Structure 1
Amino acid sequence: MSELSFRMGELFSGPGGMALGARRAAKAVDGVELTHSWANDYDLDTCKTYRRNILVPEYGETVKVVRTSAELPRAGGGIVHQNVHDLDIDGLGGIEGFAFGFPCNDYSLVGEWKGLHGDFGPLYSYGVKVLASKSPKWFVAENVSGLRGANEGRAFSQILRHLQHPEGGPRYTIVPHMYSFDEYGVPQRRQRIVIVGIREDIDVQFRVPSPEMYRHVDVTAKNGIDSPPIDLYAPNHEFTRQSQNVVDRLSHMRPGEHAFSPRVVQALPEYLRIRTKTTLSTTYKRLEPDKPAYTVTGAGGGGSHMYHWSANRALTNREKARLQTFPDDFVFEGGKDSVRKQVGMAVPVNGAQAIFTALFKSFAKLDYPSVEPNIDLATIVTPR
């Protein structure tokens, strides 16, 4: 195996946004080879999507979704459908690279924001266990922007400290940065913290890629969805049958407005007004065609599905997948609600590609434009 040949493992893999971005980056950087050794997710449809789009092109149709790490082929190539609590991490194969987008539910600004005290907050620790067990050369970890403030900042400090020095494992030099993915070729305002780590004994320095390299990309919602037009029979492009009330409500809204915009509240007939305790600004919100979309989400009740700037309807899952920069031939498995969740929880492909391209260029000793991290590690983590 050459120095720049990486076997990659993933926890909380999602449908494959991170994996596809890494694959594209490896192909774009001369001398880098990447194989997807193993992955894990708790959701069966998500595992099937990852298998179909990430593993089958690499290993063929014989690749499987398995129930335990012991069932993974020794040569690599498989995804484990299992709750991470039950996953035998030591039984996973060796890797040189590791990626994990640990669940964000308890760090999201929308919700109770329980941080480390929630059911999902401590799940980052399984990524730390992989670092200790497998000692990969690099890792990429992703989470929501709300991670910085959870538990008055203590959660973020603890997570960074554990990633720097996993108990029983090697030390890592880490570079946390708040990425706004609309600055990296994604037609969507999606801010996420991404932490890139490189093992301390390796003479490689990662630098945050400069958004200047992506200024030429048209990241408006209209361009993302309509250029080129989506084939009517494209996969995952089923249109929602909107009720007449939804159609009537949307007809009173202009691009960028939502159900609680002052002008809309005044214009809506009494029977169409939304009466809830919370007044989220994304409720029935129309996209603005000449600006990046607001953040694609994976769940939510009525009025939370993202709405077209001119048509009186919600976006299809295929349109949302375009906003996440998945190609139209990337087929999501499962029913509409399952696909909605997968699309909303995924890492945007173009965003992942930008970060992995910088990472692989760092290993290949190739220069690239960079910026200083916007998260100052020294002010967050106290050296031991």
Structure 2
Amino acid sequence: MIKAISLFSGAGGMDVGFKNAGVDVVLANEIDLNAANTFVANHPDTKMIVGDINDNLHNFWDYTDIDLVFGGPPCQGFSVIGKMDPNDERSQLIWSFLKVVEIVRPKAFVMENVKSLATINKWKGVREEYIKRAKELGYGCVPFVINAAEYGTPQKRERVFFIGIKDDTDFEEAIWNQIFSQRRKAPTVRQLFSDLGPAGTDRNPQTCNAKITFAVKPVMRRIPYDCLMFNGIGCPIDPDGYSRTITASMGGNMMLIVDDVFLHDPTADNWIQGYYDKLVSHEIIPEFKEAPPRLRRLTINEARRLQTFPDDYIFCGSKTSVYKQIGNAVPCEMAKTVATAVVKYITVD
């Protein structure tokens, strides 16, 4: 079996995917205590090192018989929705990832991050330097950008996976072929949540009563589910489509909004569409001073499913911490897709 080390493990979403692809994760590292506790609760056979990766590099010298190193260093420094500060301490952690690769010398590595690290000109120098340093360590390295919605995850979440293969520079086509072969249609949000029931019921406890407010200056687009109409830049979820990217701050200005009535009764009036139509036609809508109770934030159980965690996955910490852990995770099915492709490639006779 492929043996691996997990870095920046968080709650373990990436680990679920890699384990489901046949990978034995023997060691993990996470700095956040709540996330580490969640990881241990669900992956008891994996040794967890809690703390800053840079303070624990010495621990990796005992693990030199490793096939794979994977993980998702914090992405806020590279994200287009963040400050995009190259001096952000979190931006430096991609190099810490490579330090572990240098120590362990695995057959392959997989580093996940935001799409912008692979696509925008601002980060061209960073990605070229990353590929250069990987090459100096003896690894061909290629960034692969994929959309979670094309691989069984009902979420429009694009991410880059920098894949490195030891002593190999000619693997890009083969890996893409393995990834493409796993394309599958994700269920819609309505299908995904149908058996959970409305928020507040037994299978779907109401885990957040955060107030829904209307954006003072809504950002209008072609369809209502692309508009930013709530809580500053909050966006409604299309029940018959896919969610936008879940973030770690699901309760902040970027919260995703659910119409609980329309979600569980497709014959009911579509309140979001009606509100959108009135905004587009510039109607005076004094009755919309406060959001109706049918509009709400995602529950923990719904967020868990959108990230394709198993329903019985245990989360530790406060509700705020749990939302953060779920939002920070790599969707399990997305991770499994990449892991399957890499494992098949490095195990070919």
TM score, norm. by length of structure 1:
0.72
Superimposed CA distance per residue, residues 63-106 of structure 1 (whole angstroms, 9 cap, x where no aligned partner): xxxxxxxxxxxxxx311110122113444423221102111010
Which of 159, 163, 169 lines up with 1:192 in the alignment?
Answer: 159
- Superposed counterparts of 1:161-176, under 5 Å: 161-166=132-137, 171-176=138-143
Indicate the RMSD between aligned Cα atoms, in angstroms.
Answer: 2.9
1:124 paired with 2:94, answer yes
Rounded to whole Å, the distance in 2 between the matches of 1:138 and 1:8 is 10
**Match for 2:256: what amino acid?**
M
The 2-side partners of 1:347 and 1:92 are apart by 27
**CA apart distance, 1:248:** 8.3
Q: CA deviation at 1:229?
A: 5.3
In structure 2, C-alpha distance between the alignment counterparts of 1:175 and 1:202, rounded to whole Å: 9
Counterpart Cα distance in 2 of 1:102 and 1:229: 35
Q: Map of 1:1-384 to 2, 5 A cutoff?
A: 5-26=1-22, 34-54=23-43, 56=44, 59=45, 77-89=46-58, 90-94=60-64, 95-115=66-86, 117-148=87-118, 149=120, 151-166=122-137, 171-200=138-167, 206-208=174-176, 209-211=178-180, 213-215=182-184, 217-226=185-194, 232-233=201-202, 237-243=205-211, 246=212, 256=225, 258-260=227-229, 280=233, 283=234, 285-299=235-249, 302-309=252-259, 310=262, 311-365=294-348
Counterpart code for 1:23: K
Preserved contact between residue 2 and residue 343 of structure 2 (Cα < 8 Å): no
Shift of 1:158: 1.1
Q: What letter corresponds to residue 152 of structure 2 in structure 1?
A: G
Mapped partners of 1:234, 1:121: distance in 2:
39
Q: What is the CA distance between 1:300 and its match in structure 2? A: 6.0
Structure 1 CA distance, aligned partners of 2:30 and 2:74?
Answer: 11
1:159 aligned partner, one-letter code: Y
The alpha-carbon distance between structure 1 residues 196 and 307, as it changes in their structure 2 partners (threshold 3 A), is same
For 1:128-182, what per-residue CA distance to the aligned partner results, in whole angstroms no more than 9, with x for missing partners? 111111100111110001213264511111122222323xxxx112231111111
Contact residue 247 and residue 313 of structure 1 kept, 8 A: no
Structure 2 CA distance for partners of 1:326 and 1:300, relative to 1, 3 Å: closer
Shift in Å at residue 255 of structure 1?
5.8
Paired with 1:212 and 1:96, the residues of 2 have a C-alpha distance of 23
Query: 2-side partners of 1:99 and 1:152: how far apart?
Result: 21
**Does the CA-based 8 Å contact 1:104-1:120 persist in structure 2?**
yes
Contact in 2 for aligned 1:180/1:189 (Cα 8 Å):
yes
Q: Which has the higher strand share?
A: 2
Q: Separation in 1 of the partners of 2:115 and 2:98?
A: 20
Instruction: Assess, with a 3 A threshold, how the Cα gap between structure 1 residues 257 and 365 changes in structure 2: closer, same or farther.
Output: closer
Q: Deviations over 1:278-312 (max 9, x none)?
A: x63xx2x2100111100000026644321114431
Q: Give the 3 Å change call, closer, same or farther, for CA 300–182 of structure 1 in structure 2.
A: closer
Amino acid at match of 2:81: V
Question: Shift of residue 207 of structure 1?
Answer: 1.3
- Indicate how the Cα distance of structure 1 residues 104 and 212 shifts in structure 2: closer, same or farther if over 3 A, else same: same
Kindly tell me: are residues 255 and 36 of structure 1, through their superposed partners in 2, closer, same or farther at Cα, counting changes over 3 Å? same
Please state whether the residue corresponding to 1:207 is helix, strand or coil. Answer: helix
1:222 shift after superposition? 1.8
Aligned-residue sequence identity (percent) comes to 28
Q: Secondary structure at the match of 1:321?
A: helix
Contact 2:4 2:26 (8 Å CA) reproduced: yes
**Uncovered stretches (5+) of structure 1, i.e. residues with no partner:** 27-33, 60-76, 261-272, 367-384
Where does residue 282 of structure 2 map in the other structure? none
TM-score (norm: length of structure 2): 0.78
Query: Which shows bigger deviation, 101-110 or 88-97?
Result: 88-97
Amino acid of the structure 1 residue aligned with 2:191: N
Gaps spanning 5+ residues in structure 2: where? 263-293
Report the alpha carbon displacement of residue 363 of structure 1 after superposing the two structures with TM.
3.0
Task: Kindly provide the CA deviation profile for residues 259-285 of structure 1, in whole angstroms up to 9, marking residues without a partner as x.
Answer: 54xxxxxxxxxxxx86xxxx63xx2x2
Q: Counterpart of 1:139 in 2: which secondary structure? A: strand
State whether residues 210 and 251 of structure 2, in contact with CA within 8 Å, keep that contact through their aligned partners in structure 1.
Answer: no
Report how far residue 127 of structure 1 moved.
Answer: 1.1
